[in-house]
A = this chain, B = another copy of it.
Amino acid sequence: MTPDRSLCALVAYDGTEFSGFQVQANARTVQGALEAGLERLTGHFCRIHGSGRTDTGVHAHGQVIGFTLPWKHSLDALCQGWNRYLPEAIVVRQVVEAPAGFHPRFSATARTYRYTVYHPVAGALENVRRFPLFERFALVEKSSLDVGAMNQAAALLVGEHDFATFGQPAQGESTQRRIEELYWSAETGSLVRLDSPQLQRLVLTTTANGFLRRMVRNLTGTLLEVGRGTWQLADVSAALAAMDRSRSAPPVLPNGLVLERVDYSEYPHLFL
């Protein structure tokens, strides 16, 4: 009899073809694919717990999952074998022993997301409909954005606030969250030189102790309204203060969103 082991794993996925992370009847989900792959490898069904859900079409570079499994070989062999039974779009990056008391969701102390936008550095994109090379992992904005104003607005949202305007809590949860980081950075590189119209890649990075459902996409949509000049800084402050879901700007599409990493301050070196 092989004893059960408490394990956790670092997982990356291209969420384009999945109905989100969490398992659902009659839908292709990341959790469902991970559980099915593990069952094919080991012959045991085993429930997987994630650090949090990601919505339909949202990607992850560093999702963390936990599970309990009877396994007598090395964890590297588990990782390699599991990957053989996963679709191309999902990869288990590493499997390690879970420390005592570890839970992928409840032990998490910070989560970091990135949202990628391409915009023309000057002028507007005319006669350009879709961007098959960019749209899988980014939003393409048709007009030039004021990145400075977007970062001024972002600074208003950093800190501990009630984010009821920008997202939905799980049942019974508060809408209070603490945003540690929220800023846009413009990538430099040859794209800018080559493209006509010249496109620049902007990345929003945000870290918080947790995010409400849809919160990153709503915050991104709100900051884009500032970048377009449709919203002023005072509109952002007023929306935050209103604590009213109807006051958020519309959420952006999921394509550009990546769950970059999950931090566990009690277990700082969980994955190498």
List A residues at the B interface (Cβ < 8 Å): 12-14, 59, 61-62, 76, 79-80, 83, 88-94, 112, 114, 126-133, 136-137, 185-191, 193-196, 201, 203, 205, 258, 260-261, 271-272
Contact = CB atoms under 8 A, between A and B. Distances in A.
Nearest to A87: B132
User: What's the number of copies of this chain in the assembled complex?
Assistant: 2
A91 B130 contact: yes
Contacts of A94: 127-128
Given A114-B194, A187-B188, A201-B189, A91 B12 contact: no
B131 A91 contact: yes
Given A76-B127, A127-B94, A196-B261, A133 B190 contact: no
Contacts of A193: 205
A88 B127 contact: no
22 contacts: A12-B131, A13-B132, A13-B133, A14-B136, A59-B133, A61-B133, A76-B127, A80-B129, A90-B132, A91-B129, A93-B128, A94-B127, A114-B194, A126-B272, A133-B258, A185-B189, A187-B188, A187-B201, A188-B189, A189-B203, A190-B205, A194-B205
B127 A12 contact: no
A126 B261 CA distance: 17
A272 B127 contact: yes
Nearest to A11: B132
Nearest to A126: B272
Contact of A261 (B79, B131, B137, B194): B194
Q: Which 8 A-B pairs have the closest CB atoms?
A: A187-B189, A14-B132, A91-B130, A94-B127, A190-B205, A185-B190, A190-B203, A89-B132
